[in-house]
Amino acid sequence: MIVHRNMETMHPESIVDIVLTPQFYTLKREQVPVRYIYQAQRIAPSFFEGLLEDNSSVAYYVYREGEYWVFIAYNPDEIADFLRSKGILPSQIGRVVFAQQLASSLKGAVKVGEKEALVVIEGNVVMVPLLGVEKGVLTEIKNSMLPSKGIRLSEAGDTLFSNRQAYWLGAIFVVFGILWIVEGVRYGNLNRMLVAEQERYFAKYPMFQSTYQRESILQKYRTIDTNERKKRDIAKKVAGVIGKGVVLERLSIDQKRYNAVLLVKNSAVVNRLKKDLMRAGLHIEQASEKRIVVGGSL
């Protein structure tokens, strides 16, 4: 299946292979003095500096083509979202290749939609107006022409977290980890201060040095620590259900209650999110196709 911007909505009943037209990627063919693909992948971003609007969501695909290295920059989330809008779910996608990978096997022009065609010009696969192509040179892309290697949108677009979300969640967990350490040090110091104060007090008033008195004072600080642990646990659970198509609008946690508002892109995400919330033990107070509110007591 050739994917282009003007394609009609489809609802495939089986797995389909995808050929992405140049509308979905930026291409560079360069002769660079490297031998291995991992070396080429490291330098790939440098070829697209100033050409891409948002580098944070860009992925790179690199392969060798004769004396040239081919560098392709693409946005996996944007492609997956576009395919969803056309009725193609990531679970229905098989191989995903770029039209450029067919440069050596295309012997004519391939019709794309009603007004355009794919052709090879100086080693690059490009799109041209169909009016400028002779009908006698039109051909089709057969499955046997597709390369075995490509990208996996089922991994890039249908994972629980996109690349950007994974970075943000990673940062959130780092912050939680730092807070955990800071609070641990804080309560450790508090506990040592408490013990020292107890010793001074009991030295002054031995009559109060009883097991009951000790336990009652320590229990007070155990309760404080338990509440803080519950707060961190709630925050982790909420962060854990944020995935593809889910945005956290608000999260508030006080000494007694917690409340979180989650926004969803479409109704298909709602059912998955409800199951995730139930598994996490978070109580759903309100739910609609675009908004879910969770809350409860600590």
The residue ranges of every structural domain in the chain are 2-156, 163-297
Cut 0.85: pTM above it:
no
Question: With bands split at pLDDT 50, 70 and 90, how would you rate the model's confidence at 156?
Answer: very low
Cα-flanking dihedrals φ and ψ of residue 26, to 5°?
-115, 135
Question: With bands split at pLDDT 50, 70 and 90, how would you rate the model's confidence at 126?
Answer: very high
Task: Supply the pLDDT for residue 159.
Answer: 46
Residue 73 burial (CB count, 10 A): 19
Each residue of 12-27: pLDDT tens digit?
888 889 999 999 999 9
Each residue of 188-203: pLDDT tens digit?
777 777 777 767 766 6
| Radius of gyration for the chain, computed over Cα atoms and rounded to the nearest angstrom | 29
**Residue 225, C-beta contacts closer than 8 angstroms, at least 6 positions apart:** 187
Who wins on pLDDT, 95 or 200?
Answer: 95
Question: With bands split at pLDDT 50, 70 and 90, how would you rate the model's confidence at 184?
Answer: confident
Mean pLDDT, all residues of the chain: 82
Cα-flanking dihedrals φ and ψ of residue 240, to 5°?
-70, -25
3-state secondary structure of 32: coil
- With 60 as the cut, is the pLDDT of residue 154 above it? no
